[in-house]
Amino acid sequence: MKALLSKQPGGPDTLILEDLPDPVAGRGQVVVAVKACAINYPDFLIIEDKYQFKPPRPFAPGGEIAGVIESVGEGVADWAVGDRVIAVTGHGGLSSKLAIEAVRLFRLPEGRSFEEGAALLLTYATTIHALLDRGHLREGHTLLVLGAAGGVGQAAVELGKAFGARVVAAVSSEEKAAAARSAGADAALVYGRAPFDKDQSRALAEQFKAALGPQGADVIYDPVGGDYAEPALRAIGWQGRYLVVGFPAGIPRLPLNLTLLKSCDVCGVFWGAFAARDPEANAAHVGQLFRLWGEGRIAPRVTETFALADGGKAIAKMAARQVIGKVVVTI
Residue 213: the pLDDT is 95
Looking at the structure, tell me whether residues 35 and 109 fall in a common domain: yes
Q: Give per-residue pLDDT as tens, 48-80.
A: 998 888 999 999 999 999 999 999 999 999 999
Torsion, Cα of 30, 35, 36, 37 (10° steps): 40
Looking at the structure, tell me whether residues 109 and 128 fall in a common domain: no
Q: Is 228 helix (H, G, I), strand (E, B) or coil?
A: helix
User: CATH no. for residue 103?
Assistant: 3.90.180.10
Look at residue 280 and tell me if it is in a domain: no
Q: Please list the ranges in the chain whose pLDDT falls under 70.
A: none
Inter-residue contact 93 to 15 (CB < 8 Å): no
Q: How many domains does the chain divide into?
A: 2
d(CA 174, CA 228): 18
Looking at the structure, tell me whether residues 110 and 28 fall in a common domain: yes
Q: What percent of the chain has pLDDT over 70?
A: 100
Looking at the structure, tell me whether residues 147 and 264 fall in a common domain: yes
Looking at the structure, tell me whether residues 43 and 93 fall in a common domain: yes
Residue 76: the pLDDT is 96
Of 272, 288, 315, the position where a domain reaches its end is 272
Look at residue 286 and tell me if it is in a domain: no
CB-neighbour burial class of residue 330 (10 A; exposed 0-12, middle 13-18, buried 19+): middle
User: CATH no. for residue 192?
Assistant: 3.40.50.720
The whole-model pTM stands at 0.93
**How many degrees, rounded to 5, is the angle at CA 109 between CA 103 and CA 115?**
90
Distances from the Cα of 305 to the Cαs of 47, 83, 119, 316, in angstroms? 20, 23, 11, 13
Inter-residue contact 43 to 88 (CB < 8 Å): no
User: What burial letters (b/e) apply to 81-95, b meaning 16+ CB within 10 Å?
Assistant: eebbbbbbbbbbbbb
The domain of 30 spans 2-120+300-330
Residue 53: the pLDDT is 84
d(CA 295, CA 279): 24
Look at residue 95 and tell me if it is in a domain: yes
d(CA 267, CA 140): 21
Q: Give per-residue pLDDT as tens, 254-312.
A: 999 999 999 999 999 999 999 999 999 999 999 999 999 999 999 999 999 999 999 99
Q: Which residues contact 305 (CB under 8 A, 6 or more apart)?
A: 115, 327, 328, 329, 330
Residue 207: the pLDDT is 97
Look at residue 196 and tell me if it is in a domain: yes
